[in-house]
Amino acid sequence: MEILICMKQTFDTEEKIFIQNGEIDDDGVERIINPYCEYAVEEGIRIKEAHGGTVRLITIGGAEAEAAIRTAMAMGVDEGYRLDLTDFPADSDEQTTSECIVQLIKQKQIPYDVILCGYMSIDNGTAQVGPRIAELLGIPHISTITSLTVDGRQVQVERDVEGDLEKVESSLPILLTAQQGLNEPRYPRLPDIMKAKRKPLHRMKWDELRVDVQMIQARTKKVAILPVEEKETGQILSGTIKEQSQELIRLLHEEAKVL
Amino acid sequence: MKRMKGGAFLLESCQPEDVFTPEDLNEEQKLIAKTTDEFIREQVFPLLEQIEQQNFSHTVRLLQEAGELGLLAADVPEAYGGIGLDKVSSTLITEKMAQGRSFALSHGAHVGIGTLPIVFFGTEQQKKRYLPALANGKKLAAYALTEPGSGSDALGAKTTAVLQEDGKHYLLNGEKQWITNSAFADLFIVYAKVDGEKFSAFIVEKDFPGVSTGPEEHKMGIKGSSTRTLILQEAQVPAENLLGEVGKGHLIAFNILNMGRFKLAAGTVGTAKRVLELAIKYALERKQFKQPIASFPLIQEKIATMAIELYATESLVYRTAGVLDQGLSGVEQKQGQEVAKAIGEYAIECSIAKVVGSEMLDYVVDEAVQIHGGYGFMSEYEVETHYRDSRINRIFEGTNEINRLLIPAALIRKANKGELPFFARAQGLQSELMNLMPTLPDPQAAPLTLEQEQINHAKLLFLFVAGQAIERYGTKLTEQQEMIRDISDIALSIYTMESTLLRAAKQQNQSKPNATSHLQFAEALIYNRMQKLEQIARHTLTALFTGDTLRVQLAILRKLTRIEPKNELQLKRNIVKQLLKAKKYIVQSRS
């Protein structure tokens, strides 16, 4: 079984976001594997453990992304590709990312029966890259899966549909995106952490890909990045329902001044 | 990195590039820390209450799970089923484990004093037989040195070993006391005197005839760890289970203590981080007079001081881990005795770490309870357990008093052997001191320039006080325990201040984004310690001299401990901001 994972590195969920000159300040931040991508990594390794094969992984990012790749390797990924889009001479968006990944797969002839992605990244949160890759490769895709069974060339999937459960069947090759609940990612074992640094990691720059910058540059434009307003502590009213209602109306009128 | 001899920090200067700091962790080390941290928080935390009730089946199962993750194998060479990690990695494991309270103690006793004697002093056959199972948790170990009548005086043990006439077995008789892990340990490292005289070590399996354990002790803290007596009644121990040589047991005991002391210090860092997090979160949530108590300056000052002390211990623990790794580079891991010897070179640093770490933690838990107010006195609050658990650290692995007596003794021994140029430096010091010019603050100077100068002076002060005491008492100085304690306290202040300064300076030199924050921690710590140094030195000097001579000596002391006044109040108010924002111990200025 040839398993391919597309993984993104994101800010640690505990990091506070600071905006400087209209851009997010990433100086000295702690980074993690995007949590949804971590489910994808875990699932890929489980498929390999059950059916044999090789788990490969692609990440787009600078040198700092290698920490995430080594973490995935310590979990059990066999081989990694890091594609560096730094200095890409135009704006980039999800279309750029997916085109580059697909070009990398084709140029390096990376084999795949199953491609696994996180269903979205917790930073930009567009949930586009997985489906776009499937479209460009001309293979089926199923999103937000919470359970996966591979049986020969058949796959049975359970997916989360806005809280409901949908059972879907399809066949390999296929692209799947992982939703929370798919599995419980493992902690890397210490011997595997030590082995990870000896696993093959290929580094490529965007200009080594046969891509047309005009064709793949961003089709969307970032207008502004704004901080999330800090939520102020709420107030719990007490008393009978009638008293609470009266107090609420008074507050809306006198303090919030919306009435 | 330049390699320094053990204790040389007191006599030589050291550069920031020569020390390891927690900011220098590589990718693997960070991952190892993360795996340990997640294991403790997700697997151990939910069971801590049951472990506290001495439900040892959880402890054993969790230790086995830790074994599967490789968390028991850090100090065991690859050749015997371990991973043979560097000491920085093994320090990280100890630090993160420490959050697991009593469980951490079970872990520490197993991987440290339980396993290391075999790693260091076992024969090839003993290592092959025992280490793989100890490294993966299939077998668990304990260490039996203390007896009812011999604690600090470990060599006064009464347990005996007699070789049978057929030469195949030793018969051991005696009782060992306060044996951590005794309820479930599969093997014990036991010290006994062969023929009642020759202090020796043995590997004793639980199932050997004549081996049993007593009832559980009722303790003040670390209640979730198992502590029993080990009873040896005509216990039959195969002759090949003698560990090391007959009569050389003290070498094993003392060498194991070095690592034991260092690991204890690493543990205090992890526990203090947890306790500080509890205290800060509580202070932010608890409201009195309609505001969180974290908004009151007196509470803020407590939090800042706790963090500064923690920063200092953390700095010196990781510096020492780096020093041990340097000392071990080039030493074949399989050559256990060589490894033990390389670690033994830094016995002074290990003792300092133990004393500083345990006293830091006791301070931190005490203030954390205070911040919790009456709730801190209630058992439902985690901080109450930490308060009780912390107390043992100043007692075991050599009491802090014993460790304080050891530090100058080890130093003088090294000086006498010509390993450290102590006497050469002490000679001619008086005239150097008379001509000493105090440095004046220069607003143009780089940060920490003054602090560096103060530490240089502190090193002169050490030579001065220790030199005077030795000149006066010679070998009889051992009877002046108060003076030895003072000399020790000067030495450990120097190591603490310098480790802190070098860490902050390293961040500064590398223009790290958090450098300013590091500076604040270092400045606050050094300012505090320099003031204490004057008091400590005066205590010994006024016992050594009288009249005009004393006055001259005290004038030198004042020159050496001269510091520029600093607005400590404001400094701590600045430091506390990042802590309250992050809701835990953190050194950063990203805000």
Please judge whether A28 and B514 are an interchain contact, meaning their C-beta atoms are less than 8 angstroms apart: yes
pLDDT tens per residue, range A92-143: 999 999 999 999 999 999 999 999 999 999 988 999 999 999 999 999 999 9
Q: Give the chain A residue whose CA is nearest to the CA of B70.
A: A190
| Substitution target from A193, A197, A199, A235 for chain B, most B beta carbons within 10 A | A193
- pLDDT of A176 higher than 90: yes
Please judge whether B73 and A188 are an interchain contact, meaning their C-beta atoms are less than 8 angstroms apart: no
Q: Give the chain B residue whose CA is nearest to the CA of A65.
A: B27
Per-domain residue ranges for chain A? Answer: 2-216, 232-259
Least CB–CB distance from A189: residue in B30, B70, B85: B70
Least CB–CB distance from B35: residue in A25, A188, A197: A188
| Substitution target from A190, A197, A198, A230 for chain B, most B beta carbons within 10 A | A190
Chain B positions touching A16 (Cβ under 8 A) are 581, 590
Structure token pair of residue B586 = 């953190």
- pLDDT of B589 higher than 60: no
Q: Pick from B256, B142, B241, B249: which is nearest to B194 by CA?
A: B249
Chain A positions touching B74 (Cβ under 8 A) are 190
Chain B positions touching A186 (Cβ under 8 A) are none
Q: Could you tell me the pLDDT band of residue A17, with boundaries at 50, 70 and 90?
A: confident
Q: Which residue has the higher pLDDT, B449 or A27?
A: B449
Instruction: Note the pLDDT of residue B391.
Output: 98
Instruction: Note the pLDDT of residue A162.
Output: 87
Rg (CA), chain B: 24
* Whole-angstrom distance, CA of residue A9 vs CA of residue A7: 7
A51 CB-side CA count, 13 A: 19
Of A18-32, A145-159, B16-30, the poorest mean pLDDT is in A18-32
Chain A positions touching B590 (Cβ under 8 A) are 16, 18, 25, 27-29
Instruction: Note the pLDDT of residue A104.
Output: 97
* Whole-angstrom distance, CA of residue B109 vs CA of residue A82: 42
* Whole-angstrom distance, CA of residue B296 vs CA of residue B25: 36
Q: Is the preceding omega at residue A173 within 30 degrees of 0, hence cis?
A: yes
- pLDDT of B591 higher than 60: no
Q: Could you tell me the pLDDT band of residue A256, with boundaries at 50, 70 and 90?
A: confident
Chain B positions touching A13 (Cβ under 8 A) are none
B403-582: CATH number:
1.20.140.10
Helix axes A94-107, A129-137, angle to 10 degrees: 40
Please judge whether A193 and B38 are an interchain contact, meaning their C-beta atoms are less than 8 angstroms apart: no
Chain A positions touching B578 (Cβ under 8 A) are none
Chain A positions touching B35 (Cβ under 8 A) are 187-190, 193
* Whole-angstrom distance, CA of residue B249 vs CA of residue B120: 12
Q: What percent of chain B has pLDDT over 90?
A: 90
**How close is the nearest chain B Cα to the Cα of A188, in Å?**
6
- pLDDT of B187 higher than 80: yes
Give the three-state DSSP class for B376: helix
B352-376: average pLDDT: 98
User: How many residues appear in chain A?
Assistant: 259
Least CB–CB distance from A190: residue in B30, B32, B588: B32
**How close is the nearest chain B Cα to the Cα of A20, in Å?**
12
Contacts of B46 by beta carbon, 8 Å cutoff, 6+ apart: none
Please judge whether B514 and A70 are an interchain contact, meaning their C-beta atoms are less than 8 angstroms apart: no
Instruction: Note the pLDDT of residue B3.
Output: 84
Per-domain residue ranges for chain B? Answer: 143-243, 252-314+349-393, 403-582
Instruction: Note the pLDDT of residue B378.
Output: 97
**How close is the nearest chain B Cα to the Cα of A155, in Å?**
32
**Complex ipTM:** 0.86
Instruction: Note the pLDDT of residue B56.
Output: 97
**How close is the nearest chain A Cα to the Cα of B376, in Å?**
26
Q: Could you tell me the pLDDT band of residue B590, with boundaries at 50, 70 and 90?
A: low
Contacting A residues, span 47-106, partner chain B, CB-CB under 8 Å: 66-67, 70-71, 74
Q: Pick from B55, B81, B84: which is nearest to B68 by CA?
A: B81
Strand partners, B202: B190, B242
pLDDT tens per residue, range B273-282: 999 999 999 9
Instruction: Note the pLDDT of residue B442.
Output: 81
pLDDT tens per residue, range B297-325: 999 999 999 999 999 999 999 999 999 99
Q: Which CATH number, 1.20.120.350, 1.20.140.10, 3.30.70.270, 2.40.30.10, labels domain B252-314+349-393?
A: 1.20.140.10
B397-424: average pLDDT: 94
Is A188 in the B-facing interface, judged by CB distances under 8 Å? yes
- pLDDT of B171 higher than 60: yes
Give the three-state DSSP class for A82: strand
Is A16 in the B-facing interface, judged by CB distances under 8 Å? yes
Please judge whether A193 and B31 are an interchain contact, meaning their C-beta atoms are less than 8 angstroms apart: yes
Give the Å distances, CA to CA, from B37 to A68, A244, B75, B372: 17, 46, 18, 25
Helix H or strand E segment including A252: helix A241-254
Q: Which CATH number, 3.40.190.10, 3.10.450.240, 3.90.550.10, 3.40.50.620, labels domain A2-216?
A: 3.40.50.620
Phi then psi for B231, rounded to 5 degrees?
Answer: -105, 125
The catalytic residues of B are 397
Of B40-54, B136-150, B429-443, the poorest mean pLDDT is in B429-443
- pLDDT of B437 higher than 90: no
Q: Could you tell me the pLDDT band of residue B249, with boundaries at 50, 70 and 90?
A: very high
Please judge whether A189 and B68 are an interchain contact, meaning their C-beta atoms are less than 8 angstroms apart: yes
CB pairs under 8 A between A and B: 55
Least CB–CB distance from A187: residue in B38, B512, B513: B38
A241-254: average pLDDT: 91
Which CATH homologous superfamily contains domain B143-243? Butyryl-CoA Dehydrogenase, subunit A, domain 2 (2.40.110.10)
Answer positive or negative: Cα dihedral of B396, B401, B404, B409: negative
Q: Which residue has the higher pLDDT, B379 or A257?
A: B379
Q: Pick from B101, B90, B75: which is nearest to B36 by CA?
A: B90
Give one DSSP letter per residue of B63-78, joined into a string: HHHHHHHTTT-TTS-G
User: CB B531: neighbour CB atoms within 10 A?
Assistant: 12
Whether B143-243 and B403-582 share one fold: the answer is no
Least CB–CB distance from B70: residue in A70, A71, A191: A191
Please judge whether B71 and A190 are an interchain contact, meaning their C-beta atoms are less than 8 angstroms apart: yes
B133 CB-side CA count, 13 A: 11
